[in-house]
């Protein structure tokens, strides 16, 4: 039995499909996976969607960067809302918003309506934000890093399959089919969350005012910024890839949507492997070494891609193959960075997850735009690789900053580990 913020919860009391007990890990995996599916299932169709709406690729790419910016903004509210009203109602509300936005996207008559639907879809990010907070409600920090690793490992199956599925659906039925697949998936996950997700936040805050007055405790914490910037720059490598890879695949390598979806498979498989390793080893080695190892793997993958680009390797595997290591690196880094982020002030776990996630996705949106802007048909892949490499090095510096604080001031106090 584990004591959490003055309350006790026992892992043994969890019963699947019983909303009177904490959720099964599978429910958290699928809720988080639904958010990931919303982000990337349509990526292989971006060029076809641009043609359909009669707009440029740069404008259509806002469906990615604008979505990331929207999820960053909404996370600022999701965290405090869940600390006040509980994790369950906010999670359910986020999925309902996804369903509404998905219907709007599927039947959008023009690009403006489509983008409005994408912004409404951002509510589903509650699945990612609250899965972290729910895990931290249930278990201590090092165990949270391990459990978050398993949650994101399972979640990573979705972005592994979703672009491939989206590309196939595009070739068979058109780009709208991806959104109908997302709608069906959302309805199934909503039914599961309704039946299985018991409330884990039994120490709810009194008001928004109380929550926001507590934010200085987070914003003045150097550790919070260290963990948050580690997560921001590490995931920023991936978001840069999302901003540029569809252009690289369709324009530079002339891949079909289905073929491009298959090349996304490698990075998602790497992410799954990295999360498995986090789940298995984070508790043994600690979150600092896990973050460092993940950042180093990112740098190695980018160095290999750089080398092959300089050697004028013309096959798509020369670009997509080495970058699958970025998936491994993020899988090693992000569970530990997220566990540290929500453990600096455990009584503000929801707010920390929301605020940290907002910073992470806001940075990802900016990097996605930069990655899309630096690419052009005659420039090759090098401009994108430069953006990704600088971001990976910044992630490594942020991790070293956290470790420097730990060496000078000691690791997080034991009362913050429970």
pTM (two decimals):
0.71
pLDDT of residue 229: 93
Chain segment 325-348, per-residue pLDDT in tens: 998 999 899 888 888 887 777 667
Give how far Cα 331 sits from Cα of 53, 263, 271, 343, 412, Å: 36, 18, 5, 19, 23
Nearest 5 degrees, angle CA 320-CA 325-CA 330? 120
Nearest CA to 163 out of 184, 186, 149, 182 is that of 182
Name the pLDDT band for 211 (thresholds 50, 70, 90). Answer: low
pLDDT of residue 105: 94
Chain segment 265-314, per-residue pLDDT in tens: 788 788 888 888 887 887 788 888 999 999 999 999 999 999 998 888 77
pLDDT of residue 417: 37
Name the pLDDT band for 181 (thresholds 50, 70, 90). Answer: very high
Q: Is 147 inside any structural domain?
A: yes
Q: Is 2 inside any structural domain?
A: no
Answer positive or negative: Cα dihedral of 359, 178, 176, 182: negative
pLDDT of residue 108: 94
Name the pLDDT band for 156 (thresholds 50, 70, 90). Answer: low
The mean pLDDT of 12-35, rounded to a whole number, is 78
Give how far Cα 55 sits from Cα of 45, 49, 81, 107, 171, Å: 14, 9, 37, 17, 20
The mean pLDDT of 47-51, rounded to a whole number, is 87
Q: Is 173 inside any structural domain?
A: yes
Task: Specify the number of domains making up the chain.
Answer: 1
Q: Is 394 inside any structural domain?
A: yes
pLDDT of residue 370: 84
Name the pLDDT band for 412 (thresholds 50, 70, 90). Answer: low
Name the pLDDT band for 78 (thresholds 50, 70, 90). Answer: confident
Name the pLDDT band for 189 (thresholds 50, 70, 90). Answer: very high
Angle subtended by helix axes 257-285 and 141-155, to nearest 10: 160
pLDDT at residue 9 is higher than 50: no
| Lowest mean pLDDT, pick from 206-215, 307-316, 349-358, 371-380 | 206-215
Helix, strand and coil in the chain, % to nearest 5? 80, 0, 15
Please tell me which of 192-201, 277-286, 320-329 the model is most confident about, judged by mean pLDDT: 320-329
pLDDT of residue 228: 92
Residue 231 belongs to domain spanning: 21-198+215-410
Q: Is 5 inside any structural domain?
A: no
Would you say 133 and 214 are in contact if contact means Cβ atoms under 8 Å apart?
no
pLDDT at residue 29 is higher than 70: yes
Q: How much is the mean pLDDT over the chain? A: 82
pLDDT at residue 4 is higher than 50: no
Nearest 5 degrees, angle CA 164-CA 247-CA 35? 45
CA atoms within 13 A on the CB side of 135: 33
pLDDT of residue 418: 37
Name the pLDDT band for 209 (thresholds 50, 70, 90). Answer: low
Chain segment 99-129, per-residue pLDDT in tens: 999 999 999 999 999 999 999 998 888 887 7
pLDDT of residue 59: 84
Tell the burial category of 244 from Cβ atoms under 10 Å away from its Cβ (0-12, 13-18, 19+): buried
Q: Is 203 inside any structural domain?
A: no
The mean pLDDT of 238-245, rounded to a whole number, is 84
pLDDT at residue 401 is higher than 90: yes
Task: Check residues 196 and 216 and name the one with the higher pLDDT.
Answer: 196
Distance CA 195, CA 185 (A): 16
DSSP conformational letter for 5: T
- What kind and span of H or E run contains 261? helix 257-285
Pairing type for strands 7-9 and 2-4 reads antiparallel
pLDDT at residue 176 is higher than 90: yes
Distance CA 62, CA 107 (A): 18
Instruction: Return the percentage of the chain with pLDDT > 70, whole number.
Output: 87
pLDDT of residue 114: 95
Q: Is 376 inside any structural domain?
A: yes
Distance CA 298, CA 173 (A): 36
pLDDT at residue 206 is higher than 60: no
pLDDT at residue 134 is higher than 80: yes
| Lowest mean pLDDT, pick from 25-29, 32-36, 261-265 | 261-265
Dihedral angle, C-alpha 169, 172, 173, 178, nearest 10 °: 0
Name the pLDDT band for 12 (thresholds 50, 70, 90). Answer: very low
Give the CATH number of the domain where residue 178 resides.
1.20.1250.20
């Amino acid at each position: 039995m584990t004591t959490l913020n003055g309350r006790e919860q026992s892992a043994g009391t969890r019963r699947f499909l019983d909303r009177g007990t904490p959720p099964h890990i599978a429910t958290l995996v699928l809720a988080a996976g639904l958010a990931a599916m919303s982000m990337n299932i349509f990526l292989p169709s971006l060029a076809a969607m641009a043609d359909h709406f009669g707009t440029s690729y740069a404008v259509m790419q806002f469906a990615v960067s604008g979505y990331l910016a929207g999820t960053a903004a909404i996370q600022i509210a999701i965290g405090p809302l869940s600390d006040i009203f509980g994790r369950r109602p906010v999670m359910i509300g986020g999925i309902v918003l996804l369903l509404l936005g998905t219907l709007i996207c599927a039947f959008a008559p023009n690009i403006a309506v489509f983008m409005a639907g994408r912004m409404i879809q951002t509510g589903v990010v509650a699945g990612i934000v609250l899965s972290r907070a729910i895990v931290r409600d249930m278990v201590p920090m090092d165990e949270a890093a391990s459990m978050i690793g398993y949650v994101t490992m399972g979640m990573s199956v979705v972005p592994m399959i979703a672009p491939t599925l989206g590309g196939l659906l595009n070739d068979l039925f058109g780009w709208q089919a991806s959104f109908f697949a997302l709608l069906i998936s959302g309805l199934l996950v909503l039914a599961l969350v309704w039946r299985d997700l018991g409330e884990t936040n039994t120490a709810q805050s009194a008001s928004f005012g109380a929550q926001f007055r507590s934010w200085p405790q987070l914003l003045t914490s150097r550790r919070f910024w260290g963990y948050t910037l580690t997560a921001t720059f590490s995931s920023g490598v991936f978001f840069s890839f999302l901003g540029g890879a569809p252009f690289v695949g369709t324009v530079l390598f002339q891949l079909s949507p289905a073929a491009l979806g298959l090349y996304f498979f490698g990075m998602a498989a790497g992410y799954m492997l990295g999360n498995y390793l986090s789940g298995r080893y984070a508790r043994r080695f600690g979150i600092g070494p896990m973050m460092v190892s993940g950042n180093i793997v990112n740098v190695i993958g980018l160095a290999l891609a750089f080398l092959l680009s300089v050697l004028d390797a013309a096959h798509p595997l020369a670009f997509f193959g080495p970058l699958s290591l970025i998936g491994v690196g993020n899988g090693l880094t992000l569970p530990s960075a997220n566990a540290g982020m929500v453990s600096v002030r455990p009584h503000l776990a929801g707010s920390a997850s929301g605020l940290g996630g907002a910073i992470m996705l806001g940075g990802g949106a900016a990097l996605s735009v930069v990655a899309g802007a630096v690419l052009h048909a005659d420039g090759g892949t090098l401009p994108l690789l430069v953006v990704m490499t600088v971001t990976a090095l910044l992630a490594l510096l942020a991790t070293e900053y956290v470790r420097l604080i730990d060496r000078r001031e000691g690791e997080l106090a034991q009362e913050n580990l429970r």
